[in-house]
Amino acid sequence: MNVPVNPKTLVAEMPPVSTSEQIATMKKALLKNIQRSAYVYRVDCGGCNGCEIEIFSSITPVFDAERFGIKVVASPRHADILLFTGAVTRAMRMPALRAYEAAPDPKIVVSYGACGCTGGIFHDLYCVWGGTDNIVPVDVYIPGCPPTPAATIHGFAVALGLLEQKLKAETHVEAAGETAALPHPDIPYALRVRLEREARRMAGYRQGRAIAEEFMALLEGHAHMPGSFTLSECMMEAIAEERDPRRAEIIGRLVDVVQQAIRGEAA
Amino acid sequence: MLKLLKEIFRTGEATVKYPFAPMPVCKDFRGKPEHRAEDCIACAACTVACPANAIQMETDTAAGTRTWSINYGRCVFCGRCEESCPTAAIRLSDDFELAVGSKADLTRKAVFSLAECACCGKAFAPAKEVDYVARLLSQSARSAEEADRLRLTVSTCPACKRAQDVHQIARMGIGRQMNKELETTP
């Protein structure tokens, strides 16, 4: 097979499947007055099955996609909507194209999940095509890793023209004199770093930062609040109010860090 | 029949009202990464942390701009960008309705301008980053002179810093001192 290779991605460039004008108008007519159920055929092009699990959870009674007439069928010959999941591995290209060709026109192609949209985390792998749109023309992209059942239902609604898409391409250009605010300017930088480090060490990066932020807001509040409270009293109160023992322990540890810093001890 | 109806009423409706009513998401749900470009200093920590290369940065020294971009189609919603952001400019929001008709709508961009080196005048780092670091350092500086010196240091490009180091070493005359040492040692 002699096909041009894209030097940037080191992937052969296959001619994309093209659709004629007639099919495009047919598709528009179908979307305008689709007065029946939309049948979905699911094409797995080498995904991790996370997307499949979410698709099946979106047809369970809790999310119940079938109340909108969205029904998963077993053959592409019955399908109105083709749902491509996975990053399109080399081996799955031909089966995916066969499923695409087997579906009757007009058909709606939905690219599902991060892998389907752009190749996701596998986008630069040697054995993938990196996205459904590299092999077939796609109408709707549903990003997510995997998309939640609610996101799936929203995606179907967008595909069927029932809901408007919310996301729009945007470009922010830096305004003149735009500056980023310093976080917690009242707390010395060295202390802030120690607090964040300790909170993150104990609670993990995401939660640790949230706890450190809360704690520093408390510290600043204490600094601004005139009154007879000492630091430890104020903090003890905060710890006593905390109902989660793990969080209380972390806040207690942060109080220790502050007191160490006040005494001038090294970390 | 009556028993069945009773059972049905007792069970109630399990199906969510989602497309007709907003869907409540749980705490710590990781939805669309929301980027507040005003707080971003274009330091590229998120681009390094992003495992899927959804966040990318391109520096154009000729035009003096650095363009930050995120591709929501490639994002795996891991939250590493949020963890690594020094100014909390990127946050994972509750928004999960990301389906789009055209792929171009999946990207979001922010253009930042580059600062020029105080020595050679070449663009070398985002202006906001240089300004942020200078303010952060002057916050912990002991005196106004030290703050000024630090500000000058951070607004100098690495190449100029290296050149200045060389000049300083030459001024210190390490070679001469070494020769002297060699002469005096038997």
pLDDT in tens, A122-162: 988 888 888 888 888 888 999 998 999 999 999 988 888 88
- B14 contacts on A by Cβ (under 8 Å): 61-62
Higher pLDDT: A236 or A50? It is A50
Please check whether residues A150 and A205 belong to one and the same domain.
no
* Helix (H) / strand (E) containing A210: helix A205-224
A229 to chain B nearest CA, in Å? 27
Is the domain B18-96+104-159 a CATH 3.40.50.2300 member?
no
Please check whether residues A117 and A197 belong to one and the same domain.
no
Query: Which of A159, A176, A207 lies at the terminal end of a domain, its last residue?
Result: A159
Which chain A residue has its CA at the smallest distance from B126's CA? A174
Which chain B residue has its CA at the smallest distance from A183's CA? B87
Pairing outcome for strands A38-44 and A5-6: unpaired
Give a yes or no: residue A172 inside a domain. Answer: no
Please check whether residues A39 and A145 belong to one and the same domain.
yes
pLDDT at A54: 92
Please check whether residues A255 and A140 belong to one and the same domain.
no
Q: Where are the domains of chain B?
A: 18-96+104-159
Contacts of A61 (CB under 8 A, 6+ apart): B14, B15
Higher pLDDT: A33 or A40? It is A40
Please check whether residues A144 and A223 belong to one and the same domain.
no
pLDDT band at residue A248 using 50, 70 and 90 as cut-offs: confident
Q: What is the DSSP letter of B60?
A: E
What average pLDDT does this structure show over A189-216? 89
| Nearest beta carbon to residue B15 from set A64, A119, A180 | A64
Omega of the bond prior to A146 within 30 degrees of 0, cis?
Answer: yes
pLDDT at B47: 94
Question: Of B95, B100, B142, which to mutate for an interface test with A (greatest number of A Cβ within 10 Å)?
Answer: B100
Tokens linked to B23: 């869907």
CA A13 to chain centroid, in Å, comes to: 28
- B18 contacts on A by Cβ (under 8 Å): 63, 150, 153
Instruction: Decide: residue A225, CB within 10 A, 0-12 exposed, 13-18 middle, 19+ buried.
Output: exposed
Give a yes or no: residue A181 inside a domain. Answer: no
pLDDT at A199: 92
Query: Which of A121, A138, A159 lies at the terminal end of a domain, its last residue?
Result: A159
3-state secondary structure of B88: coil
Residues of chain A by 3-state class (helix, strand, coil), percent to 5 = 45, 10, 40
Give a yes or no: residue A165 inside a domain. Answer: no
| Nearest beta carbon to residue A120 from set B76, B95, B100 | B76
Mean pLDDT: which of A75-79, A228-232, A242-246 is highest?
A: A75-79
Measured between alpha carbons, how far is B31 from B86 in angstroms, rounded to an integer?
A: 20
Omega of the bond prior to A106 within 30 degrees of 0, cis?
Answer: yes
- The answer to whether the beta carbons of residues A154 and B97 sit under 8 Å apart is yes
A5 forms beta bridges with A12
Look at residues B92, B69, B67, B71 and name the one whose alpha carbon lies nearest to residue B80: B92
Higher pLDDT: B3 or A219? It is B3
- A171 contacts on B by Cβ (under 8 Å): 108-111
**Is the CB of B18 less than 8 angstroms away from the CB of A174?**
no
Q: How many residue pairs bridge chain A and chain B with CB atoms within 8 Å of each other? A: 171
Please check whether residues A19 and A125 belong to one and the same domain.
yes
Mean pLDDT of chain A: 84
**Is the CB of B75 less than 8 angstroms away from the CB of A166?**
no
Higher pLDDT: A33 or A248? It is A248
Check if the interface score ipTM surpasses 0.85: no
Please check whether residues A18 and A150 belong to one and the same domain.
yes
Measured between alpha carbons, how far is B55 from B109 in angstroms, rounded to an integer?
A: 10
B82 forms beta bridges with none
Residue A201 lies in domain = 189-259
A70 forms beta bridges with A38
**Is the CB of B112 less than 8 angstroms away from the CB of A174?**
yes
Question: How does pLDDT run across A54-100, given as a tens digit for each residue?
Answer: 999 999 989 888 888 888 999 999 998 999 999 989 888 889 999 99
Number of independent structural domains in chain A: 2
B126 forms beta bridges with B114
pLDDT at B48: 93
Question: Of B25, B29, B55, B97, which to mutate for an interface test with A (greatest number of A Cβ within 10 Å)?
Answer: B97
Please check whether residues A125 and A219 belong to one and the same domain.
no
**Is the CB of A182 less than 8 angstroms away from the CB of B135?**
yes
pTM equals 0.83
Percent of chain A with pLDDT over 90: 22
Please check whether residues A30 and A101 belong to one and the same domain.
yes
Tokens linked to B160: 């100029």
Distances (CA, A) of A258 to A10, A46, A194, A196, A222: 54, 52, 9, 11, 13
Pairing outcome for strands A70-72 and A38-44: parallel
Q: What is the DSSP letter of A115?
A: H
Look at residues B30, B28, B85, B29 and name the one whose alpha carbon lies nearest to residue B55: B85
pLDDT band at residue A41 using 50, 70 and 90 as cut-offs: very high
List strand residue ranges (DSSP E) for chain B, in order. 33-35, 55-60, 65-71, 90-92, 107-116, 123-126
Residue A232 has pLDDT above 80, yes or no: no
Measured between alpha carbons, how far is A162 from A154 in angstroms, rounded to an integer?
A: 9
Residue A11 has pLDDT above 70, yes or no: no
Please check whether residues A85 and A123 belong to one and the same domain.
yes
Radius of gyration of chain B (CA): 28
Give a yes or no: residue A34 inside a domain. Answer: yes
Please check whether residues A112 and A208 belong to one and the same domain.
no
Give a yes or no: residue A62 inside a domain. Answer: yes
Give a yes or no: residue A171 inside a domain. Answer: no
pLDDT at B71: 92
Residue A21 has pLDDT above 60, yes or no: yes
Contacts of A208 (CB under 8 A, 6+ apart): A196, A199, A200, A201, A202, A250
Give a yes or no: residue A98 inside a domain. Answer: yes
Q: pLDDT digit of tens for each residue in chain B (186 aa)? A: 889 999 988 988 888 888 888 888 888 889 999 999 889 999 999 999 999 999 999 998 888 899 999 999 999 999 899 988 988 899 999 888 889 988 889 999 999 999 888 888 888 889 999 999 988 888 888 888 888 888 888 889 899 989 888 888 888 777 777 788 787 776
CA angle A190, B57, B49 (to 5 degrees): 50
Please check whether residues A120 and A199 belong to one and the same domain.
no
Question: How does pLDDT run across A25-39, given as a tens digit for each residue?
Answer: 887 777 777 778 889
Residue A111 has pLDDT above 90, yes or no: yes
pLDDT at A10: 62
- B19 contacts on A by Cβ (under 8 Å): 68, 153-154, 157, 162-163
**Is the CB of A180 less than 8 angstroms away from the CB of B74?**
no
